[in-house]
Amino acid sequence: MWSSVTCSVLVPITINQRPAKCQQVGVPGSDSCIFTDRVSLQFEQSGSGDITPVVPVNAETNQVAPEHSALTPRPGEEAASLDTALRVGRVGPWSLDLLSGRVTWSEEICDLFGISMAEFAGTVEQWTSFILTEDLPAYLAALDRVSQTEPLAGVEYRIRRADDAVRWFYERSQTEFDSEGIPVRRLGIVMDITERHESRAQLAQSAAVLAQIAGRAARLGGWMITLPERELTWSDENCAIHEVPPGYKPTLEEGIGYFPAEYQEEVMGHVEQCALEGTPYDFEFPKYTAKGNLIWVRSIGEAVRDTDGKITRLQGAFQDITVRKQAEAERERLIKELQVALEEVKTLREILPICMYCKQVRDDEGAWGDLEAYVRKHKGTDFSHGMCDPCSEKFYPDVYARLQRQRAEKSQNGSLTVDEGLLEG
């Protein structure tokens, strides 16, 4: 009787047997090459409890399934090839008799855990004793979720080897049930994924460092309010913005209390509406730091819901925008100064610099010239020439006397004389 567990292993084959999609891995000191592919390995357990990987064969055609053809051993190579595949892939098969509690480990698993076959007692208790205490609850919970409809389980956990080294393992198993639905056996593999997990951790650490650098450069911090406790948490950058030590945890009331009194009610309204209705918000207000310095901040908040749609926390970002606000204020100041200057220029241009004696006018370059020429140049205005009454009486008394008589006649018949028209331009 055998069961099937899917895992990625290194399949040892010769170059002539190489499947098209496999990747080559050289084996030092060997004429063979090893290729990797995802295949469904099957393990057979003998009456003595020994586990042997086998290749499934179609009962009708007596042929190895195409996806397993690379696993077909040549005479004399079966044991060595499978041992190499499991060793290079750092994979070990195991089985558990759920009725007796007897655990069977392969030699590869014993190597992974750092013990010999003779040192393994074959009990679940010994197995779980290797698992770190903080990882054990998640491991047991993953196995508890197994059912007839979901017989597969996969979980990552850490172990402490016999030599005290801590390693990350990935375990994948399949549980078999009898006709009454009782679990009777579990068959699986364990894979050492320490290097993969360390690479993942390094990438996460690098991303966190980059995010921290970006946060410092942009003066951007994060915050979270857990519900219903209403417990406020600030990121280190947010603490720096508020000039408090890293890790400082203010109360929600204290956090809102940093805003000037005239803004606090509106800020609390945003928070309450987000907590009750899930309404996101984005506002910009002035705020005091713990040291009393006035800054400008932008606060963005959103609600986070659980699988049932219940709001469990609020989270968002907090950015110090003081520099931007100062730049905006400076821009507004310059605009106002420019507007005042333009008004002053307009006023100055409306004042006509004219000589009090000869009545010549000074232009923009300081040169004196005729009034008519100045006005014509700067105002776009032309002149029509006539003579006022005082000048006509002074310089042309006869014409003035006749003009007066004509005006008298005009008042009687309403007509304009030629002389009057000339005098009035």
Q: How far apart are CA 8 and CA 21, in angstroms?
A: 14
Q: Which residue has the tokens 């499934």?
A: 56
Mean pLDDT, to the nearest integer, of 198-205? 72
- Domain boundary residue, one of 320, 335, 359: 320
Written as six digits, the tokens of 51 are 């586990």
CATH number, domain containing residue 27? 3.30.450.20
* pLDDT value of position 212: 61
Q: Mark whether 266 and 293 lie in a shared domain.
A: yes
Q: How confident is the model at residue 87 (pLDDT cuts 50, 70, 90)?
A: low
- Domain boundary residue, one of 135, 164, 197: 197
Mean pLDDT, to the nearest integer, of 262-269? 94
pTM of the model: 0.39
Residue 377 within a domain: no
* pLDDT value of position 227: 92
Q: Secondary structure of the chain: what % helix, strand, coil (to 5)?
A: 40, 30, 30
Q: Mark whether 60 and 190 lie in a shared domain.
A: yes
Has residue 16 got a pLDDT over 60? no
Structural domain harbouring 58: 2-197
Residue closest to 155 by CA, chosen among 199, 189, 111: 189
* pLDDT value of position 215: 55
Q: Mark whether 153 and 232 lie in a shared domain.
A: no
Chain-centroid distance of CA 368 in Å reads: 69
* pLDDT value of position 425: 47
- Going by DSSP bridges, is the β-strand pair 294-305/281-288 parallel, antiparallel, or unpaired? antiparallel
Q: Mark whether 47 and 164 lie in a shared domain.
A: yes
* Mean pLDDT of the residues in the chain: 77
Residue 400 within a domain: yes
Most distant CA pair in the chain, distance: 152
Residue 70 within a domain: yes
pLDDT tens for 220-256 read 888 999 999 999 999 888 899 999 998 899 999 999 9
